[in-house]
A and B are shown apart, each in its own frame.
Chain A
Amino acid sequence: MKIKDIMDPSPNLIRTYDTFEHLIKILDEVKYHVVFVVDKEDKLVGIVTEGDIIKVLIPKYVNVDESLVSIMNLDYFERKCIESKNLTINEIMTKTTCSVSEEESIIKAAALMVINRIHTLPVVRNKKVIGMVSRLSLIKQITKILAEH
């Protein structure tokens, strides 16, 4: 079975120069909380997940000294949300071009998800994103196969 048989043909896309605020608006409207990042020529350059978004709000010095979390002010979350409004996607995203093509087998998508510990994969044609596959779509396919046998 090929990727194109199970893919969702309407992926969530955002451009590198869009803002954090714009990203949050998009996420509010879509069903998957993953957005693929494309450049000016619509080519895949990265991904923004829920993890990337939350990471924006956490100061990096916490990675060096975790104990500082316990003394952060109550309004810190709110302040960082407002401060981050104009950050560009380029500053937030995880750079990756890990993807599958529509003609490939769905086992490749499954393997890439397990190996790279990701939940959603972009489907590309000539480096341009044309769809996406998720773990959920794979599970649905398993259900379908077992029901038929």
Chain B
Amino acid sequence: MVFWIATAIFIVSYGLIVSERLDKTKVALIGAGLMMVLKIISQHEAFYDEKYAIDYNVIFLLIGMMIIVNILSKTGVFQFLAIKSAKLAKGKPFLILMFFACITAILSALLDNVTTVLLLVPVTLFIADELEVDPFPFLISEVMAANIGGTATLIGDPPNIMIASKVQLTFMDFIYHMAPAVFFVFSFFLLTIKFVFGKKLHVKEETKQKILAINEYELIKDYRLLKKSIIVLGMVILGFIFHGALHYEPATIAITGAAVLLILSKEDPHHVLRELEWPTLFFFMGLFIIVGGIVKVGLISKLSEGMISLTKPTADDMFVTAITTLWFSAVSSAIVDNIPFVASMIPLVTDTAHAILPSGLDSRSVIHHSTLMPVWWSLALGACLGGNGTPVGASANVITLGLAEKAGYPISFKKFLVFAVPITIETIIISNIYIWLRYYAFIKY
């Protein structure tokens, strides 16, 4: 009975999140509340249990990075970088588009992709307006670049943060395994946008001169704050690089960096904290409890049996499981929010591994098993890159389309899909080849 109640709560919550008929944070919190009220999972388990509880490593890593990015964004450095790169491109529209895509990808990898597009979209519209060209090629390229760039690092996209926390992967694990995949995916992406938009974007010489005449230094609002923010961000990134060796969790690094920057910046913490994305954080917390509930009642174990019979993994070879996970994650993340998807997939993959791998291994050895690792990377690649598929696939897409509409350049669902679907399929094909070449064709993990 408990099994079916938990399953019903999970399915209804998922359905409501997908249908967007109710705010997703409300759905997650109500679902979590029901799981506890109906005693499917106790409050103690929901808050403190190692297997079922809210993953505070994810929550505090997000809070820490949100604080740092919030303070950094007040300096005007994002806008400065965009205009500087437009000038370096000598006002040539296509080169500007390429530079903007690269900046978006890098910033999304190091910070978070939602803030990156939130700050770069208005500057992009400004540049397109000055150049008197259609902003669509710029906007769509930036959204895609944000999602691709975010895939490269542990902190770039929420699915990576969640996978890293549960599987105990380090920042450098992501750099070593995900960044090369993203390098190939992004290179092909740039070639594709060159093919699609390269010949369409041309302007007169005098229009290019207008870009060169802009004084980008006007955009820096506070040089002292910028200096402090960059030093702290640099230290935090160094902390991430060495957190595995130093045995610190990423959340420790992020929250300490955030605290130091709050003190150095003299910003009012009430003001900064008010601007954090609390609905997203509570959405995560609610989801963790819902997923904790279905893990506890055994739904995930049942689903993992299905996965085993479908992909037939063995203790030596999970190639089919990895590739199925990659494509299944990509399609699901394009349609559903990738956060609840990954939250459910992590225990599913873990259970599958426990069922297949030798029973004498401890929990950490199972999730870190060399046969299983490509499945984790496939999940991360599929979930992050799949977000590019539709306007609702990732938060960065929703934010960009919302801003574009507000600024008088609405992008229709269909117009987005025409460009996004082929690009998403291309990026997943490249990821598929990468997974095969890196982990199966020549080199064994």
Task: Using CB atoms and an 8 Å cutoff, list the residues of chain A in contact with chain B.
Answer: 59-65, 67-68, 70-73, 75
- Rounded to whole Å, the gap between the CB of B103 and the closest CB of chain A is 16
Would you call A59 and B221 a contact (CB within 8 A)? no
Pick from B122, B123, B210, B215 the residue with the most CB of A within 10 Å: B122
**Minimal beta-carbon separation of B147 from chain A (angstroms):** 21
Q: Once the chains bind, are A59 and B407 in contact (CB under 8 Å)?
A: yes
Q: Is the interface of A mostly helix, strand, loop or mixed?
A: helix
User: Given known contacts A59-B126, A61-B126, A68-B122, what 10 new A-B pairs fall within 8 Å (CB)?
Assistant: A59-B125, A59-B408, A61-B407, A63-B406, A65-B119, A70-B218, A71-B214, A71-B219, A73-B213, A75-B210
Contact B83 A64 (CB under 8 A): no
The answer to whether residues A61 and B122 also contact, given A67-B76, A67-B219, A67-B221 and a CB cut-off of 8 A, is: yes
With A59-B407, A65-B119 known to touch, is A73 a contact of B215 (CB < 8 Å)?
Answer: no
* Residues of chain B within 8 A of A63, CB atoms compared: 406-407
Residues of the B chain whose Cβ atoms lie less than 8 Å from the Cβ of A62: 122
Nearest Cβ on chain B to A86's Cβ, whole angstroms: 16
Decide yes or no: A64 and B406 within 8 Å by CB, A59-B126, A71-B214, A73-B130 being known contacts.
yes
Contacts of A70 in B (CB 8 A): 218-219
From A61, A64, A75, B129 is in contact (CB under 8 Å) with A61
Q: In the complex, which residues of chain A have a beta carbon less than 8 angstroms from the beta carbon of B408?
A: 59-60
Would B130 and A61 count as touching, CB distance under 8 A?
no
Picked from B130, B210, B218, B407, the residue with its CB within 8 Å of the CB of A60 is B407
Q: Is the CB of A64 within 8 A of B216?
A: no
- Can you list 16 A-B pairs, Cβ within 8 angstroms, ordered by A? A59-B126, A60-B406, A61-B122, A62-B122, A63-B407, A64-B122, A64-B403, A65-B119, A67-B79, A67-B219, A67-B221, A68-B79, A71-B83, A71-B126, A71-B215, A73-B210
**Count of A-B contacts with CB under 8 A?**
50
> How far in angstroms is the closest Cβ of chain B from A95?
17
Minimum C-beta distance from B153 to chain A (A): 26
- Count B interface residues, CB 8 Å: 23
- Which residues B168-224 have CB closer than 8 A to chain A? 210, 213-216, 218-219, 221
A128 to B119, CA, bound (A): 46
Complex-state Cα separation, A122 to B186, whole angstroms? 59
What residues of chain B have their CB less than 8 Å away from a CB belonging to chain A? 76, 79, 83, 119, 121-123, 125-126, 129-130, 210, 213-216, 218-219, 221, 403, 406-408
Query: B218 to chain A: which residues have CB within 8 Å?
Result: 70-71
A63 to B79, CA, bound (A): 15
- Determine whether the beta carbon of A65 is less than 8 Å from that of B122: yes
In contact, B79 and A61 (Cβ under 8 angstroms) = no
Q: Rank and list the top 8 A-B pairs by shortest CB-CB distance, nearest first.
A: A65-B122, A61-B125, A60-B407, A61-B407, A61-B122, A70-B218, A64-B122, A60-B408
Q: Which residues of B contact A75 (CB under 8 A)?
A: 210
B129 touching A59, Cβ below 8 Å: yes
With a cutoff of 8 Å between Cβ atoms, the chain B residues found around residue A61 in the complex are 121-122, 125-126, 129, 403, 407
Least CB distance, A87 to chain B, in whole angstroms: 12
Residues of B within 8 A of A72 (CB): 126
How far is A138 from B385 in the complex, measured between Cα atoms in Å? 64
Q: How far is the CB of B237 from chain A (nearest CB, A)?
A: 26
Whether B406 pairs with A65 at a CB distance below 8 angstroms is no
Residue of A nearest to B402 (CB): A64
In the bound complex, what is the Cα–Cα distance between A63 and B402 (angstroms)? 13
Q: Taking the nearest CB of chain B, how far is it from the CB of A80, in angstroms?
A: 9
Give the distance in Å from the alpha carbon of A75 to the alpha carbon of B210 in the complex.
9
Q: How far is the CB of A64 from chain B (nearest CB, A)?
A: 5
Alpha-carbon separation in the docked complex, A26 to B408 (Å): 27
Shortest distance in angstroms between A31's beta carbon and chain B's nearest beta carbon? 33
Instruction: Compute how far the CA of A68 lies from the CA of B215 in the bound complex, rounded to whole angstroms.
Output: 11
Which residue of the partner chain A has the closest CB to B120? Answer: A65
Q: Whole-angstrom distance between the alpha carbons of A64 and B215 in the complex?
A: 20
The answer on a CB contact under 8 Å between B214 and A73 is: yes
Residue in contact with A65 in the complex, picked from B123, B213, B216, CB distance below 8 Å? B123
Whole-angstrom distance between the Cβ of B174 and the nearest chain A Cβ: 31
Kindly list chain A residues whose C-beta atoms are within 8 Å of the C-beta of B215. Answer: 71
Instruction: Report the minimum CB–CB distance from B20 to chain A (whole Å).
Output: 23
Which chain B residues lie closer than 8 Å to A65 at the CB level? 79, 119, 122-123
Q: Which residue from chain B places its CB closest to the CB of A75 in the assembled complex?
A: B210
Instruction: Tell me, in angstroms, the Cα distance from A82 to B122 when the chains sit together.
Output: 23
The distance in angstroms between the C-alpha atoms of A71 and B76, with both chains bound, is 12
Give the chain B neighbours of A73 by CB distance below 8 A.
130, 210, 213-214
Tell me, in angstroms, the Cα distance from A1 to B157 when the chains sit together. Answer: 67
Cα–Cα distance between A73 and B209 once the two chains are bound (Å): 11
Complexed CA–CA distance, A23 and B119 (Å): 36
* Nearest neighbor of B219 in chain A, beta-carbon distance: A67
Give complex CA distance A68, B122 in Å: 8
Query: Given contacts A73-B210, A73-B213, A73-B214, is CB(A68)–CB(B126) below 8 Å?
Result: yes
Find the residue from A62, A63, A65, A70 having the highest chain B CB count within 10 A.
Answer: A65
